[in-house]
Structure formats: structure tokens, C-alpha cells
Amino acid sequence: MVAAPNKAEVVKFAGGWLFDRVMAGWDVLVLTPDGGDDRPLRILGARPLDLESALSCRFEGPRPQAIAIDAELYGADKRIQDRVLQVLDEGVTEIRLWGEYWSTDGAGGACAVRHRLSAAARAFKAQALGATAVKADRGEVIELFGPGELLRLSRQSRSA
């Protein structure tokens, strides 16, 4: 599952990671509040869902194996924080953050999790970027994420 303020952000910051997960056989859902063209996500093999609809539904069924989320969106929406932290407490295997929020806390660079894009992910991400208005380095081979452990630490500091 991926959550972001818009589809273009997903492609720019997590498109390669997302594509590599799809190619590994994962069912990847992308939650965004923006409607419109789903083509960039479909190029990567993901299924788009409306963020507000997903947040208003009761969470049932299997828990996600991995979550990638825009850190600013995470920081701005208590509902998202609660859902992500609930899944984290239940033992989700992987949580990744991207964006300025996690990287400016003084630990971002040191804690960065690097995902090396496959050759296919680079090619499909370039096509997906072409379907958006986002300008990005189409030759990048690594996407950087903050680890979910930052969320666990954040939760501990809030409850203390």
C-alpha cells in the first residue's frame, strides 16, 4: 500500500519500489486524494484508490505487507498516523517514508533505506513520469526512504 498527496509524487519518489513490488507478485494499492488520470499508476502496475474513501472504510481483511507513505501526508493527518501505527504495532514487515518531513529531523540521511531499482523499474518509472507533469531525474537507480522505525520512535515520544 502506498499513500501520497497525489499520483505524481508516488511516481517520482516511490515508482521504482512500487514497480519492483508488482513484478514480485504483490498487489499494490495507491491511495491519493486526487482524481484524474490513473495512467501513471497503471503503467507501474498499481491499483489507484481514493484516499478519503479508504480512510472512511473499516479496515478489514489481510494487513498490508509493506507501506510507503509521503512523510508530510503522514505528519499532517491524524487518521493516517493512527492507521499506520496500528499496522506497525501488528507487525507489518516494512514501512517506508519519503519526503522532507523525515529527512529534516536530523536522522533522515543517516537512517535512509535505499531501494536499488531494477532495470525494468527504471524503464517503467520513466514512462510513468512521462505521463505526469513532474520533472525528475529519469536516470536514477536508487530511491531513498526513511525507515518505519522513525514512526515507532515518534509514537514512543508522543506517549511518554
Query: What span, in angstroms and rounded, lies between the C-alpha atoms of 16 and 54?
Result: 24
Domain ranges of the chain: 2-159
Cα angle for residues 114, 120, 122 (degrees, 5° grid): 55
pLDDT score recorded for residue 87 = 79
What pLDDT, on a 0 to 100 scale, did the predictor assign at position 43? 97
Transcribe the chain into DSSP letters: -EE-SSHHHHHHHHHHHHHHHHHTT---EEEES--S--HHHHHHT-EEEEHHHHHHS---SSPPSEEEEEHHHHHH-HHHHHHHHHHHHTT-SEEEEESHHHHTSS-HHHHPEEEEPPHHHHHHHHHHHHTSS----TT--EEEEEETHHHHHHHHHHH-
pLDDT of residue 95: 84
Confidence (pLDDT) at 104? 46
Q: Note down pLDDT in tens along the chain; length 160 residues.
A: 899 999 999 999 999 999 999 999 999 999 999 888 999 999 999 999 999 998 888 767 677 888 899 988 988 999 988 888 887 777 766 888 888 655 544 444 556 888 999 999 999 999 999 999 777 666 679 998 887 665 655 555 555 4
pLDDT at residue 158, rounded to an integer: 52
